[in-house]
Amino acid sequence: MDALSKLIAVSGVQGSLDLRCRMAGSFALDHEQLEPGKAPFHLMLRGTAQLLLPKGEMLELHTGDFVLLPRGAAHVVQGTGHGASAEAGVDNDGPLPERSNTAGPVDMDLLCGHFSYGHGGAQLLMNTLPDALYVPMAELEGMALLDSIVTTLRREAARLDQGSLAITKALSEVLFVLALRRYISQEGLAPSLLGLLIDHRLSAVLLAMMKEPGRDWTVESLAHKANMSRATFARHFTEKADASPMDLLTSIRMQLACDLLLTGNLSVDAVAEQVGYQSVSAFIKTFQRRIGTSPASFRRHGAT
């Protein structure tokens, strides 16, 4: 398994479709800030619209465009059509609610949903992304694949046959992976965990960290994994990740510890051992410093 696939697998991000919006005219649809662990997304099935962000940034959305807001930022989707728009109503009769302000031709056919993620590996991933991850599909390589996904989503959202929601949910998660792949392939990528993926040697190191977080890693052993000298490895790693190898390893261990505490029945001692700590007191101290609470309290109260 490659490092990006492993990162997505441990993140456990789950896609969900919420609404289909078929709008005409000069409408404006407000979206409030979502709770932590919810990342809304929009896929333009057909037409055009503008997406306005709190800091004044505006994105032009066209057919096939995908935008993800990893930290659930408030935003407005507004129409670019002519003429005043009628008040929108929501039809809840079908499996997927539909908001519309017209019975005629539409200027925007937009599929809206969100990704849910927990405090652990998924947060580690989401925190590396910009406030708005915008993917203009027409500019991507493999447009035939992406066009087929959009066509299938459009058809399933319109038909809503047996299994349509399962299909559209699965394809929305495919879009998430494609968006990440496009993001890490762009020039001038800001240093982050994802920055390691563009270097096959450092990508192998990241994969090793995630596969064996409990191993007694050292800078020397990680450098050996990358087939680099210790000094060269440490320098390149920090340049790409904006963190030292051991600092990122600690982040991975703490986020995986969060997942184990919330989803498993392991004791705190066992969790500490699984993520590479022979000393439980050292694990508790590091966890409290990184997460802001003790492992026991985190297990009782979650990420609140």
The string of pLDDT tens digits covering residues 11-64 is 778 888 889 999 999 899 999 999 888 999 999 888 999 999 988 899 999 988
**Which of 73-77, 85-89, 98-102, 244-248 bottoms out in mean pLDDT, i.e. has the lowest?**
85-89
C-alpha distances out from residue 203 to 52, 87, 123, 198, Å = 35, 51, 19, 7
Which residues in the chain belong to E strands, given as ranges?
Answer: 14-23, 28-31, 38-52, 58-62, 66-68, 75-78, 89-91, 98-100, 108-116, 133-135
Higher pLDDT among residues 261 and 303, named by residue: 261
Same-domain pairing of 244 and 287: yes
* Dist CA 11 CA 189 (whole Å): 21
Same-domain pairing of 181 and 213: no
Higher pLDDT among residues 167 and 229, named by residue: 229
Check if the beta carbon of residue 225 is closer than 8 Å to that of residue 24: no
Per-residue pLDDT, 215: 94
Same-domain pairing of 147 and 108: yes
Q: CATH number of the domain at 246, please.
A: 1.10.10.60
Per-residue pLDDT, 136: 81
Same-domain pairing of 178 and 206: no
Range of the domain at 245: 193-301
Same-domain pairing of 117 and 178: yes
Which residues in 128-223 belong to E strands, given as ranges?
Answer: 133-135
Same-domain pairing of 135 and 252: no
Same-domain pairing of 163 and 254: no
Q: How many helices (H) and strands (E) does the chain have?
A: 11, 10
Residue 19: partners with Cβ closer than 8 Å, 6 or more residues away:
90, 96, 97, 98, 99, 112, 113
* Dist CA 253 CA 287 (whole Å): 9
Check if the beta carbon of residue 156 is closer than 8 Å to that of residue 167: yes
- Domain end point (choices 185, 220, 253): 185
Q: Assign 280 a pLDDT band (cuts: 50, 70, 90).
A: very high
Question: Percent of the chain at pLDDT above 70?
Answer: 94
Give the residue among 163, 75, 138 at the shortest CA–CA distance from 112.
75
| pTM listed for this prediction | 0.81
- Domain end point (choices 151, 185, 219): 185
- Domain end point (choices 185, 214, 234): 185
Per-residue pLDDT, 158: 74
Same-domain pairing of 69 and 120: yes
The string of pLDDT tens digits covering residues 180-239 is 888 888 777 888 888 888 888 999 999 899 889 999 999 999 999 999 999 999 999 999
Same-domain pairing of 161 and 220: no
The string of pLDDT tens digits covering residues 126-160 is 888 888 999 886 666 556 776 788 788 777 877 77
The string of pLDDT tens digits covering residues 76-92 is 999 987 766 678 899 98
Per-residue pLDDT, 170: 85
Per-residue pLDDT, 237: 96
